[in-house]
Every structure is written in structure tokens, then in C-alpha cells.
């Protein structure tokens, strides 16, 4: 029987309201722990031509296309998020290269990059990335690309991805991205015990040979079969020891405070060398306390955390006619226990911690961002101030509900129902 990559938990139409001044529009996205959201991840499709063993079963069934957000709807969210302080937008999937509107999305995002500070990146499996494609992505405004490559051995690569693509396809994609100026090029490899941990040194050699960042990711519980086991996790310490026994490493730290990867350079190479190793230790060295990410799934669910069990459906708001009078977000109603409750959903929401009330107040409404995507063949409707205000409030409320951490390495952890492909990496 096929499995549908959608959550089994109840999807709430609206996030619980923030216990902040509802008469003032939000001016930034900040959660109850003081973490500011700077990184928006847009999953534009749940489709993928790979069926990676740690992600998607071969018989998975995808969501109907009319349930997926359109490119204009993604751009509506992104435009508002940039106004609220987002500085990086990463396009994910599924495999985003499968989406026929990808170039329009990149162009639209580039139109928001008025001062050159917006980082527009994509995560791809690389199977469709040739010189022509890389050039078009770069010309449209993409700045960076991350490719997935879990094995350098063709037989193992085929077994992991369960696809017709080849290692050479991905390696060619890496070269195409480099030649197009999509810097820095990064390669992600999920390391699973008993599958590919014996290739850690080989992957380090790839970083040295191609002068790229190779990021090694601890195996996370996001597979559709729910077959994840803690014993299959190769911890960061072991990865570093295996590589360090051949190529001594010097720690650099994180590229930014909120970066998921701890970066190391090869000790025998210059400090400014391009070939580096990054370790993403989501299981054994959680970086939740500095997380700055917000995810939008392909079907329009807002997820403050990759491992969240709660998500909020923004699609109805995006598809509500602006003249219908139904774009307002309900104000919070104080609960007797000091929590806040959304009138629409009746969802309890904890109050802010004492002394840590983040300020979302600020007059003047949202800062101006060009509406560059409203032209050409994808001009479907003009931006509407009331809709933008409702989107801003919706995102602010969802972000405020972000939990302290995912507690993967805890007995109380429960795997989310969604797979990585149905969330977006």
C-alpha cells in the first residue's frame, strides 16, 4: 500500500497568537526564546526522482498538484519574510529542479535583493545540473548551490538513491556549479552506519580535490518507513576521528552563529583554503539554541522546526480574495492560567518568559521591498497591503511558537510524521 508523505497530526489553520501588541505590525520574526529568524526555506515540490533510503520509500504517493503552493504564493511569503528581516532564502524540495517554475522563483527572489545582501540558495540532488542549467540559475539570480552526494561508489550510490542517476552526473553538476560562479559549492552527505561510514576519508579527499565544502550529516529520523535507529547514527566525534587519522583537521567554527555546520579546514592547507569539512551533528550536538530557520512546505504548512509536530496552514490565507474581509488574524484571548489562546483554534500558548519578551512592536508597517515578481508571464495578482499584513502576522505568530529544541537524543523524542522530502531540507 502506498504511503502519503503528509503529517498524521492535526494541522492547525492558524498558529497561536503571540502575547504581544496586536495593534502594531510585526517588524521582525523572533521566537519566545529570543532567536531571530534570518533563514527561510521554501520547499517548492514534494516530488523527487530519487528514493533515498533515509528519506523516501519507493511507493510513496505525492500530494495533488493543486494542493501545492504556486510560485507566486511562495513569492508572496518570501517578500513579506524579507521585509521582516530574512537574509537567506533556500529553495528545497523534493527535488526543486523538477519544478517548471523554478527559474521564475529565482528571478522573483532576486528582485527582492535590492542591496545585494539577500542570499538565494538551492539544495539539489544534482542529477539535472549541467552547464546550461547552472548558467541559467546564476543568470536568474541564484547565488549558491548545495548538492547531495552520499557515496562515491556507483553501486552504493544506486542502492542509496534507488535512481537511474550516477555519481558522475552529480560530479558533473558540481563542476557546472563552480564554473557558473555559484560559490561556495557545497556537498551534503548523510552518513549512516553500515551504509557509507567507510567513505568518510574518500569524501574528505573529494573536498580537497575539488576545493569545495563537504558537509557530513548525522543520520536523522526523517525517513518515511520510520526505520531510524539510534545505533545507525555515526556521531560527529567518530567522523572527525576517522578523517583526522588520515587528514588532520583544524577547527574553524561556524560560518555564522546560526549555521548548522561546524567547519574544519585541512591542517596541511592554507587557512583560506576553499576545501573544507563541515559537520552537521543534529543528533549528538544539537544547535537548536542558535537556530534561525523557518520552513514552508510545498503544500503551504509553516514549520518553525524541522522536527516539529505542529504546523500551520498558510495556504487558505494566501488564496483568500483580498476584498473578502477575511484576511484578519484573530487577536489573542488571555487564558486564566496566564497562557494565550487563539480564538479561532482554542490552542493554548505559553506566555513569554519573564524578562525575555521580544519586541515586535514598531510603527510604520512593513519596510518596502520591490514587487519584482509581478511581471512577465507569472503576473497573477498585485501585492495587497492587507494580505501582506496578514501574512506577516501569521509568520510572526508561527515563529513565536518555535520550541526550545527537538530533543532527538532524548527518550521522549517522537519522530515527525512528515519525511524530509515532504518538509524540505
pLDDT at position 57: 85
pLDDT band at 254 (very low <50, low <70, confident <90, very high): confident
The Cα-based distances of 323 to 54, 285, 387 in angstroms read: 45, 49, 10
Phi, psi angle pair for 217, to nearest 5°: -115, 130
User: Residue 367 burial by CB count (10 A; 0-12/13-18/19+): exposed, middle or buried?
Assistant: exposed
Of 104 and 271, which is predicted with more confidence? 104
Q: Distance (Å, rounded) from C-alpha 176 to C-alpha 134?
A: 6
- Residue 309, class by beta-carbon neighbours within 10 Å (0-12 exposed, 13-18 middle, 19+ buried)? middle
DSSP 8-state symbol, 35: P
pLDDT band at 324 (very low <50, low <70, confident <90, very high): low
Q: Which domains does the chain possess?
A: 1-183+289-425 (3.20.20)
Report the pLDDT value the prediction gives residue 287, as an integer from 0 to 100. Answer: 86
Residue 415: predicted pLDDT: 80
Residue 55 has pLDDT above 80, yes or no: yes
The residue-averaged pLDDT of 395-409 equals 88
Give the pLDDT score at 326. Answer: 63
Q: How confident is the model at residue 4 (pLDDT cuts 50, 70, 90)?
A: very low
Of 19-33, 48-62, 142-156, the range with the lowest mean pLDDT is 19-33
Choose the most confident range, by mean pLDDT, from 61-65, 227-231, 266-270: 266-270
Query: For residue 231, is pLDDT > 60?
Result: yes
Confidence of residue 103 (pLDDT cuts 50, 70, 90): very high
Average of per-residue pLDDT values in the chain = 84
- Asked if pLDDT for residue 245 goes beyond 90, the answer is yes
Model pTM score: 0.84
Please write the tens of the pLDDT for every residue from 171-216. 999 999 999 999 899 999 999 999 999 999 999 999 999 999 999 9
1-10, 95-104, 138-147: least confidently modelled range? 1-10
Residue 221 · residue 2 · CB < 8 Å: no
Q: What is the pLDDT of residue 369?
A: 60
Percent of the chain with pLDDT over 70: 81
Residues in Cβ contact with 152 at an 8 Å cutoff, skipping those fewer than 6 apart: 167, 199, 202, 203, 206
- 50 Cβ partners below 8 Å, 6+ apart? 56, 95, 125, 127, 161, 162, 163, 165
Q: List own/partner pairs for 233-240 with CB under 8 A and 24 or more apart.
A: 233/193, 233/283, 233/284, 234/191, 234/192, 234/193, 234/197, 235/281, 235/283, 235/284, 236/262, 236/279, 236/281, 236/284, 236/285, 237/284, 238/197, 239/191, 239/197, 239/200, 239/279, 240/264, 240/279
CB 161 within 8 A of CB 191: no
In degrees, to the nearest 5, what angle opens at C-alpha 421 toward C-alphas 416 and 425? 85
Between 418 and 90, residue with greater pLDDT: 90
What mean pLDDT is predicted for residues 161-176? 97
Average pLDDT over residues 61-81: 95
Identify the bridge partners of residue 218 per DSSP, sorted by sequence position: 191
Is the pLDDT assigned to residue 77 strictly greater than 90?
Answer: yes
Higher pLDDT, 371 or 166: 166
Q: Please check the confidence at residue 65 and state whether its pLDDT lies above 70.
A: yes
Whether pLDDT at 359 is above 60: no
Query: In angstroms, rounded to a whole number, what is the distance separating the alpha carbons of residues 116 and 127?
Result: 29
pLDDT score of 21: 67
CA dist., res. 256 & res. 92, Å (int) = 21
For residues 336-360, give the mean pLDDT: 32
Q: Which residues contact 65 (CB under 8 A, 6 or more apart)?
A: none
Amino acid at each position: 500500500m502506498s504511503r502519503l508523505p503528509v503529517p498524521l497530526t492535526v494541522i492547525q489553520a492558524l498558529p497561536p497568537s503571540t502575547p504581544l501588541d496586536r495593534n502594531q505590525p510585526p517588524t521582525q520574526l523572533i521566537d519566545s526564546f529570543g532567536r531571530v529568524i534570518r533563514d527561510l526555506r521554501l520547499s517548492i515540490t514534494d516530488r523527487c526522482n530519487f528514493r533515498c533510503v533515509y528519506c523516501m520509500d519507493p511507493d510513496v504517493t505525492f500530494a495533488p498538484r493543486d494542493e501545492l503552493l504556486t510560485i507566486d504564493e511562495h513569492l508572496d511569503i518570501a517578500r513579506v519574510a524579507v521585509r521582516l528581516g530574512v537574509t537567506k532564502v533556500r529553495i528545497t524540495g523534493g527535488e526543486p529542479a523538477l519544478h517548471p517554475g523554478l527559474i521564475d522563483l529565482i528571478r522573483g527572489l532576486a528582485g527582492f535583493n535590492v542591496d545585494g545582501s539577500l542570499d538565494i540558495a538551492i539544495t539539489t540532488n544534482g542529477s539535472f545540473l549541467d552547464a546550461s542549467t547552472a548558467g541559467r540559475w546564476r543568470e536568474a539570480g541564484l547565488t549558491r548551490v548545495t548538492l547531495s552526494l552520499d557515496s562515491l561508489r556507483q553501486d552504493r550510490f544506486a542502492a542509496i538513491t534507488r535512481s537511474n542517476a550516477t555519481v558522475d552526473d552529480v560530479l558533473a553538476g558540481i563542476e557546472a556549479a563552480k564554473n557558473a560562479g555559484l560559490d561556495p559549492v557545497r556537498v551534503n552527505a548523510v552518513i549512516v552506519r553500515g551504509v557509507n561510514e567507510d567513505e568518510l576519508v574518500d569524501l574528505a579527499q573529494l573536498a580537497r580535490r575539488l576545493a569545495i565544502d563537504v558537509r557530513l550529516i548525522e543520520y536523522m529520523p526523517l525517513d518515511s518507513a520510520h526505520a531510524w535507529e539510534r545505533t545507525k547514527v555515526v556521531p560527529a566525534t567518530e567522523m572527525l576521528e576517522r578523517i583526522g587519522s588520515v587528514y588532520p583537521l583544524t577547527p574553524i567554527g561556524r560560518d555564522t552563529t546560526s549555521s548548522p555546520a561546524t567547519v574544519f579546514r585541512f591542517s596541511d592547507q592554507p587557512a583560506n583554503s576553499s576545501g573544507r569539512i563541515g559537520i552537521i551533528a543534529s543528533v549528538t550536538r544539537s544547535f537548536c539554541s542558535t537556530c534561525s530557520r523557518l520552513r514552508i512546505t510545498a503544500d503551504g504548512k509553516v514549520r518553525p522546526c524541522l522536527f516539529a509536530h505542529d504546523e500551520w496552514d498558510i495556504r487558505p490565507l494566501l488564496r483568500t480574495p483580498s476584498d473578502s474581509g477575511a484576511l484578519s488574524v484573530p487577536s489573542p484571548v488571555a487564558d486564566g492560567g496566564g497562557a494565550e489562546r487563539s480564538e479561532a483554534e482554542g490552542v493554548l500558548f505559553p506566555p513569554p518568559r519573564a524578562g525575555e519578551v521580544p519586541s515586535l512592536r514598531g510603527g510604520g508597517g512593513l519596510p518596502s521591498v520591490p514587487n519584482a515578481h509581478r511581471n512577465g508571464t507569472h503576473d497573477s495578482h498585485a501585492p495587497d497591503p492587507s494580505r501582506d499584513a496578514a501574512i506577516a502576522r501569521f509568520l510572526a505568530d508561527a515563529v513565536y511558537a518555535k520550541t526550545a529544541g527537538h530533543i532527538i537524543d532524548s527518550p521522549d523524542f517522537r519522530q515527525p510524521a512528515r519525511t524530509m522530502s515532504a518538509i524540505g531540507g
